[in-house]
Chain A
C-alpha cells in the first residue's frame, strides 16, 4: 500500500529541511576542530562566535536533525508496516510546531542571543524565544505517536494473534522513551527557565534544572539510537542477503530499552555536588544493565551477517567475512549500516568507561566525552540518518541515486574521519583537555601562559579527523543534490523500505506487549529519582540569578 500523498510531502519536508540546516551544523563542526587546534585563534570567525557556532552544532545536529528523522522514519515505517492511513492533520500540526520551534531557536542562536550550548545549563540565560522554540519543538514531536496509537490498536484488533511488525515495535519504543524523557525537560523549560528568563521569577534551583535535564539527556540518546536499531533489525539482514537471526532478540532489546532508558540520567551527574553517592550508585548499576540488550544486539546482528554471508557462499570460521557486500554501488545502503556498527563497537565500549561510576572521575567533561559520543550519535545514528534519508527521499520521489558508488563511499570516509577525530579527543581527554572550549586562544596558543604542549598532538589529530568528516558530508550533499536533480524513473511498485524476515521466529509472550514494560519503566523511574529529586527540592538553593554568557554581572530580572 502506498503512503498518502500529503504524508509523503510531510515526510520529505521532515527529512530535507533538517538536512539543509545540517549544512550549518556540519560547517560549525569543521570550524570547531580548527579553533581547538589553534588554527583559528579568535573569539569568532566569519561573523559567528565560537560558542554560538558550538550551540548551533549541538542543537541542529543532536536535536533537530535526529528528532525530525525519527518522526519522518516513524511515519514511513508505521504507514508501510500497518498498511493504514495515519492522521494527516496530526502530521501537519507536528511539522508546523517542530519547524517553527526549530526556526525560532536557530534564529536566537544565530542572533547571538542563545550561546548557552545545547545543554542550556542555567544560570547561563538565553533569550526567552530560545526556550519557547525548544518547547514548541518538543511538543510538536509528541504529536505523531498519539496519532499512531489508534491506528495500531485497530491493526491489532484486525490481526489477532499476529506479531506486531518489528519496525513498529522499534518505532513505538523510540517514541515511548521520548514521551517519558521529555516531560521533565518540558517542566524545566516551562516552569523554571522560561519564567526566569522573562523576569517573572528572580531565581531558580539550578541543581533541580540539571537533574531534570539529565532525566531527559540520556534517554535522548536511546531515542536517537532506536530508529537506527530498527534499521539494523529490519533492514540490515535483508541488505546483507539473509534473514534476521533472532526475532526475539529485537523485541527483547526494544522492550528492555523502554524499561531502562530513563532511570539512569544521574550517571551524567556523577561529578555533581548535592546528590548522594547512594543515588548515583543505584543509577550507575541501572546504566550498566543497558549493556545486556546492546550485547545481545551485537550477537544477533553479527549472527545475521554470518547467516547472510554463508548463503552467499562464505566458508570457514572467519572466511565468511569476505562475502558481505561491502563495496556494491547498487547496495550502497549496506555500508551506512555496517560502518555504523563498526563505529558503535567503540562507542559502546567507551560509553561503559564513562558510565563506570568512579572511573568517570578521570574523563568527566573532558574531550573524552565528545570522542565517545561522536562514536555513537555521529556513528551509527548519523550514518543511519544519512543513509535512511537518502533512501526514503529518493524512494518517495522515484529518483535514482546519483551515483550509487559515491553514496557507497561516504560512510567509509566518514568512519575514517570519526576514528581519527575520536582517537585525538580520547588521548586529549585523558590528559585533561576540556570539552567545548575555545582552546585556540589559550591552551593551544604558545603565546598564552595556559599553553599545554601535551594537548597539541591530540588536538591536531582531532582536526584532521574532523576535516575528513567534513569531506564525507560534502560528498554526501553532492550525491543528495545530484539525485534530487535527476529525472524521476518510473517504478512498478510503490516505494517500500527493505524488510527482513526472521530466521529464528521465537514466540516469547513476555516481549509481545508494551503495557507491562511501560508500567515497569514508570515505577523504576519513580524509584530511582524520588530520593535525589526530593532532597534537591527540600535542601536546594532556589535563588540563583541568571547570567548572560558575555558578562559576569547577574542579569537583573526584576522589572
Chain B
C-alpha cells in the first residue's frame, strides 16, 4: 500500500503548533499524556463512540439493515444520520465465531471519526501500528483479548480512502434487550476490534 493514500494533505501549521505545545508541556511536567487521553476520552463520548454503537445495535436487531451495512457501510451508516469527513468511505467487517477482525492504521492514525469519536492515543502509537500487523494474536492477548487458535484474525489497514468498523458478535443472553439497551453494551474498543463483547 502506498503511503500517499494515508496523507493526501500534509500537517497544517496549527496542527504542528498544537502538537508541539503538547509535547513541550508534557516534557516540562505540566501535564501528562495520560491526563490528555482521559480528557479526550471523556469529551469523545459527546461525539462518539455512541454513533457507532447505534449502528451496531441496529445491525443486531435488523437483519436487512445488517446486510445493507456489510454491503455498503457508508450508505447504511448514513441511514442513521452519521457521516461526513473522515467517515465517507466506510467498510464494516463482521466478527463471527470463527473470524475476528481488528483495525489498525499502519502509517498514521486514519480513523472513522463520525462513528467512533476521537481515537485513543494507543491507536496512534508506533507499537500498536506495527505489532498489530506483525503479531496480532500476541498483541490482542496483551490487550486483554486472547483468541482461540481456531479463530482466524483479520487485520484491516485503514487509510484516507477506506475506514473500517468492526461489527462485533452480539453477546449471548441479550435476546430481551431493546435496541437502545444493546447499544449501551457496544464499546469503542469492540468496534476497533481489540476486545470481544
Q: Do A and B bind each other?
A: no
Which residues of B are interface residues toward A (Cβ below 8 A)? none
The chain A residues found within 8 Å of chain B, CB to CB, are none
